[in-house]
Chains A and B, each alone.
Chain A
Amino acid sequence: MNRNAIYLTGDAGAKLKVARIVSAAAALAVASLILIGYQFLSLRESLRDDVEVQASIIADNIAASLMFSDTQNAVDMLRSFRNAPYLTGVAVYDRSGELFASYNREDSRHPPAQSSVPGAPLQTTSLEQVSVAMPVVYRRVMLGQVVLTASTAQIWTGLAHFAALLGMAAVTATMIGLLLIRRSRLRANLAEKELHYLAHIDPVTDLANRRASYDEAMRQLAAMRICGCRVAVMLLDLDNFKSINDTSGHAAGDVLLQEVARILLGSTRETDIVGRVGGDEFLIVAAPIVSREEATNLASRLTQALHKPLFIAGAEALVSASIGISVYPDDAENLTDLLRNADMALYRAKALGKNRFAEFHPAMTEAAQRRLTLENELRRALAEGHLDVYYQPQFSAGSRTLIGAEALVRWTHREHGAIPPSEFIPVAEESGLINEVGRYVLERACAAAATWCRSQDAPIGVSVNVSARQLREPGFLEDVAGALGRCGLEPHLLELELTESTLMTNIEAAITFMRAVRAMGVRLSIDDFGTGYSSLSYLQLFPIDQLKIDQSFVQQLPGGGETITQAIISLAHSFGLSVVAEGVEAQQQLDWLRSMGCDYVQGYLLGRPLRHADFEALTYEARCGGTLDALRLNEPQQANACSVTTPGG
């Protein structure tokens, strides 16, 4: 399965092994030689001792024969030493140095020569023989000399056996040693492989991990650079991995990843690199390729192969993937740039609606550059207070009385003028700036709402949009409570608008959050209802107050969208929820909604988003029977100052 593993091999290992064996054998040989030498010396020593004892015995027993000149007796006695196999000759000399008697083995003709120092015992030793001369003394009278020679042949035979035994022992020891070395080597190899596996392989999919993938890609790229071939670098991202992981658990997520890995390996060539470089991100390096078309064909094949229902943890999951492609050498020269380009293409593919692939185009760099610039400028705008909050009025559908407003963020760029939210909100979402933007809008909206003139019976509330990212922010709940407290706004006048997709990404956390917010008294509304998952069972679960019909449905009215709009209205009412329709632009739409029992309406027909001051004036006209301008003479505008509770009504 794993095509990217690298194992250590080589000539050096074998050479090392031979050197080890040779050195071990040399050491054993030296040790054996020392042992044999020592053995020879000690055996010769004991032979000499034996011969010396024999010589003493002969010297003792030959005395009488010498004295009585009884050669026959002497020869008889000497002959008895034929049983000592190592003796090669015995000779007895009388006091004058004449040979008195001798005994020789068949193989040595000459009797041992007399010692030059007849009076004292003397040993001479050589490699071949040991010779001992012993004086014959009886009652302190020197009678002659006995000379014995012994052959070391037997010792040599013994040593030959000993050497053979040593050799066998050495060979056996070497074999055992080799076996042990081999075994420990195997164990080390195994450990090496395991370490390699841990360092380079993703344990879930058995694919190369991020580091190994990049290393391999680098190698592949270097090889292709030499042959001048084209290489396709693709980044593949699963579109809905997170939701599967969240809804079915991590084990199911792992199975999904394994399944995807299997499909990717099955759809690519043996030489292509497939690695897992992120949670749900895979790297595919196809090399060599003939043309860009081959790369797009492969990408198309991969998206098709992945876009199918998989059975994971007993349930069917619909997987899809987006792919970004960049090609060497057309799009970039080095891996870093190729990866960055592929990432931009992937971003593009996601933006185009997922389950598709996109090739890198130089314009993407510009787009990415623009995004980055936008992000920096948004940051600055936020810091310098260039973001503004507008309020679009909401009315009761029946009586057309003002009941509240939706807070909408606006950005007027110093140079480029107004930048639409559809452009900068995604950038804020991606960069995490959305948290600050959200906090800013919430703060401003609460402060503004606190200044609005309202009567006791029909309060004017404000609704603020909340993004998924804000929900995940741990301090968001405190932000809400803080904003309310600082501005002295009653909680029921604040409504938080959440989109369905925001809630579905992490249902449990969403419910916990919603309960907490509701406990504070803040109202909750589901934005863009009907465009997302619209799970009815969750509708029952979510502690909400209101549904908002998406403007895409409203704008079809009349003559289209009636069924779904009517269904949403009656659904909301049966759950005890109020309904607000946004994007009302025509009188017929308003009439139809009113006839269907829609509670509240919002749209250009009734009122465009207004600056705070204008909206505040509107509230005075609508509710307080006067004009704001009259009041302004006495009180300064305090929309941004949360230290003031309410200007009165």
Chain B
Amino acid sequence: MRLIARFRPSRSLLPMCLVLVVCSAAAQVQESALKAAFIYNFAIFTSWPDHAAAGPFIVCVDAGTPLAESLRQLEGKRVDDRRWKVKETADDPRKTGRCSIAVIQSTATQQTNGPVATTLVVSDGGVSGKNGAVITLVNEGDRVKFDIDLMQAERTGVKFSAKLLQLARNVI
């Protein structure tokens, strides 16, 4: 909750959140906001190959999901001087070109031809190592944790800060 507030562009949203907490829909929003913050933090602790580290920082996500909404709320922030930009697609986000991060649902099908190079694929749920994502967000009780698949990371060419790896629940 506090963390969310920290990453919000404005503190004026905080009272609204508190109101939303009491209803179940609000719980959903809170979780997605937390996950969006996590994704933003991943971007901070990850470095992309030089050729993919230019232009706006594009985050591709399934259109219409609460997470997409939360991610969009982070627009205006910067990742290494790159502007944070959310691109909502109806299609599989992994197939959208020029994405720095692609966020997929746990229900997304395993991609047969491997992940797109230089795109950090983050899966909201699912089993790490099997869902084809580099980072898998996991709900553990009321906390959000994440696993990292280094094999996948190797393929995409992104590198993680040791600090991030240290915080991961599992590193495979």
Which residues of A come within 8 Å of B, CB atoms? 61, 63-65, 67-70, 73, 94-96, 98, 138-139
Query: Which residues on the B side are within 8 Å of A68 (C-beta)?
Result: 3, 38, 41, 167
Q: How far is the CA of A61 from the CA of B167 in the complex (A)?
A: 11
Answer yes or no: B2 CB below 8 A from chain A CBs: yes
Answer yes or no: B163 CB below 8 A from chain A CBs: yes
Query: Which residues on the B side are within 8 Å of A98 (C-beta)?
Result: 2
Cross-chain contact B163 with A70 (CB below 8 angstroms):
no
Say which residue of B2, B3, B6, B164 sits within 8 Å of A64 (CB atoms). B164
Answer yes or no: B172 CB below 8 A from chain A CBs: no
Residue of B5, B41, B166 with most chain A CB atoms under a 10 A cut-off: B166
CB contact under 8 A between A63 and B2, given known A68-B38, A68-B41, A139-B44? no
Q: How far is the CA of A67 from the CA of B45 in the complex (A)?
A: 10
Cross-chain contact B166 with A67 (CB below 8 angstroms):
no
Within 8 A of A (CB), among B119-172: 161, 163-164, 166-167
Contacts A63-B163, A64-B163 aside, 18 further interface pairs with beta carbons under 8 A come to A64-B45, A64-B164, A64-B167, A65-B167, A67-B44, A68-B38, A68-B167, A69-B2, A69-B3, A70-B167, A73-B166, A94-B2, A94-B6, A95-B6, A96-B6, A138-B44, A139-B44, A139-B80
Interchain Cβ contacts under 8 Å between A and B, 16 examples: A63-B163, A64-B164, A64-B166, A65-B167, A67-B3, A67-B44, A68-B167, A69-B2, A70-B167, A73-B167, A94-B2, A95-B6, A96-B2, A98-B2, A138-B44, A139-B44
Query: Which residues on the B side are within 8 Å of A73 (C-beta)?
Result: 166-167
Q: How far is the CA of A415 from the CA of B167 in the complex (A)?
A: 148
Query: Which residues on the A side are within 8 Å of B163 (C-beta)?
Result: 61, 63-64
Q: How far is the CA of A67 from the CA of B163 in the complex (A)?
A: 11
Within 8 A of A (CB), among B1-47: 2-3, 5-6, 38, 41, 44-45
Query: Which residues on the A side are within 8 Å of B6 (C-beta)?
Result: 94-96
Identify the closest chain A residue to B161 (Cβ). Answer: A64
Q: How far is the CA of A96 from the CA of B14 in the complex (A)?
A: 13
Q: How far is the CA of A138 from the CA of B3 in the complex (A)?
A: 15
Q: How far is the CA of A170 from the CA of B2 in the complex (A)?
A: 62
Q: How far is the CA of A73 from the CA of B166 in the complex (A)?
A: 8
Q: How far is the CA of A56 from the CA of B168 in the complex (A)?
A: 23
Query: Least Cβ distance of B21 to chain A in Å?
Result: 17
Say which residue of B5, B41, B80 sits within 8 Å of A67 (CB atoms). B41
Identify the closest chain B residue to A67 (Cβ). Answer: B41
**Interface of B, helix, strand, loop or mixed by DSSP:** helix
Identify the closest chain A residue to B162 (Cβ). Answer: A64
Query: Which residues on the B side are within 8 Å of A64 (C-beta)?
Result: 45, 161, 163-164, 166-167
Query: Which residues on the A side are within 8 Å of B3 (C-beta)?
Result: 67-69
Q: How far is the CA of A63 from the CA of B167 in the complex (A)?
A: 11
Query: Which residues on the A side are within 8 Å of B2 (C-beta)?
Result: 69, 94, 96, 98
Query: Least Cβ distance of A462 to chain B in Å?
Result: 144
Q: How far is the CA of A73 from the CA of B3 in the complex (A)?
A: 16
Query: Which residues on the B side are within 8 Å of A63 (C-beta)?
Result: 163
Identify the closest chain A residue to B3 (Cβ). Answer: A69
Please, what's the 1-or-0 string for B71-94, where 1 marks a CB less than 8 Å from any CB in chain A?
Answer: 000000000100000000000000
Q: How far is the CA of A64 from the CA of B162 in the complex (A)?
A: 10
Identify the closest chain A residue to B38 (Cβ). Answer: A68
Q: How far is the CA of A94 from the CA of B41 in the complex (A)?
A: 16
Query: Which residues on the A side are within 8 Å of B80 (C-beta)?
Result: 139
Query: Least Cβ distance of B132 to chain A in Å?
Result: 23
Residue of B44, B161, B163, B164 with most chain A CB atoms under a 10 A cut-off: B163
Identify the closest chain B residue to A138 (Cβ). Answer: B44
Q: How far is the CA of A69 from the CA of B41 in the complex (A)?
A: 11
Query: Least Cβ distance of B169 to chain A in Å?
Result: 10
Query: Which residues on the A side are within 8 Å of B167 (C-beta)?
Result: 64-65, 68, 70, 73
Residue of B5, B6, B80 with most chain A CB atoms under a 10 A cut-off: B6
Pairs of residues from A and B, 8 with the lowest C-beta to C-beta distance, nearest first: A64-B163, A69-B3, A67-B41, A68-B167, A70-B167, A64-B167, A73-B167, A95-B6
Q: How far is the CA of A63 from the CA of B45 in the complex (A)?
A: 11
Query: Which residues on the A side are within 8 Å of B166 (C-beta)?
Result: 64, 73
Q: How far is the CA of A274 from the CA of B91 in the complex (A)?
A: 139
Identify the closest chain B residue to A77 (Cβ). Answer: B166
Q: How far is the CA of A138 from the CA of B38 in the complex (A)?
A: 15
Q: How far is the CA of A67 from the CA of B161 in the complex (A)?
A: 13
Query: Least Cβ distance of A58 to chain B in Å?
Result: 13
Query: Which residues on the A side are within 8 Å of B44 (C-beta)?
Result: 67, 138-139
Query: Which residues on the B side are within 8 Å of A94 (C-beta)?
Result: 2, 6
Query: Which residues on the B side are within 8 Å of A67 (C-beta)?
Result: 3, 41, 44
Q: How far is the CA of A52 from the CA of B2 in the complex (A)?
A: 28
Q: How far is the CA of A94 from the CA of B44 in the complex (A)?
A: 18
Q: How far is the CA of A138 from the CA of B41 in the complex (A)?
A: 11
Identify the closest chain B residue to A63 (Cβ). Answer: B163
Q: How far is the CA of A552 from the CA of B166 in the complex (A)?
A: 147
Query: Which residues on the A side are within 8 Å of B5 (C-beta)?
Result: 96
Query: Least Cβ distance of A227 to chain B in Å?
Result: 108
Q: How far is the CA of A295 from the CA of B8 in the complex (A)?
A: 129
Query: Least Cβ distance of B33 to chain A in Å?
Result: 13
Identify the closest chain B residue to A60 (Cβ). Answer: B163
Q: How far is the CA of A95 from the CA of B8 in the complex (A)?
A: 13
Query: Least Cβ distance of A336 to chain B in Å?
Result: 112
Q: How far is the CA of A95 from the CA of B5 in the complex (A)?
A: 11
Q: How far is the CA of A139 from the CA of B82 in the complex (A)?
A: 13
Identify the closest chain A residue to B42 (Cβ). Answer: A68
Query: Least Cβ distance of A559 to chain B in Å?
Result: 155
Query: Least Cβ distance of A171 to chain B in Å?
Result: 56
Query: Which residues on the B side are within 8 Å of A139 (C-beta)?
Result: 44, 80
Identify the closest chain A residue to B165 (Cβ). Answer: A64
Q: How far is the CA of A82 from the CA of B21 in the complex (A)?
A: 39
Identify the closest chain B residue to A74 (Cβ). Answer: B167
Query: Least Cβ distance of A70 to chain B in Å?
Result: 5
Query: Least Cβ distance of A131 to chain B in Å?
Result: 25
Identify the closest chain B residue to A70 (Cβ). Answer: B167
Query: Least Cβ distance of A67 to chain B in Å?
Result: 5
Residue of A68, A70, A98 with most chain B CB atoms under a 10 A cut-off: A68
Q: How far is the CA of A362 from the CA of B5 in the complex (A)?
A: 134
Residue of A69, A95, A138 with most chain B CB atoms under a 10 A cut-off: A69
Identify the closest chain B residue to A71 (Cβ). Answer: B143
Q: How far is the CA of A95 from the CA of B38 in the complex (A)?
A: 17
Q: How far is the CA of A98 from the CA of B6 in the complex (A)?
A: 12
Query: Which residues on the A side are within 8 Å of B38 (C-beta)?
Result: 68
Q: How far is the CA of A134 from the CA of B5 in the complex (A)?
A: 23
Q: How far is the CA of A61 from the CA of B163 in the complex (A)?
A: 7
Q: How far is the CA of A98 from the CA of B1 in the complex (A)?
A: 13
Q: How far is the CA of A96 from the CA of B4 in the complex (A)?
A: 12
Q: How far is the CA of A70 from the CA of B41 in the complex (A)?
A: 13
Query: Least Cβ distance of A65 to chain B in Å?
Result: 7
Q: How far is the CA of A65 from the CA of B163 in the complex (A)?
A: 8
Query: Least Cβ distance of B152 to chain A in Å?
Result: 20
Query: Which residues on the B side are within 8 Å of A69 (C-beta)?
Result: 2-3
Query: Which residues on the B side are within 8 Å of A65 (C-beta)?
Result: 167
Q: How far is the CA of A79 from the CA of B41 in the complex (A)?
A: 25
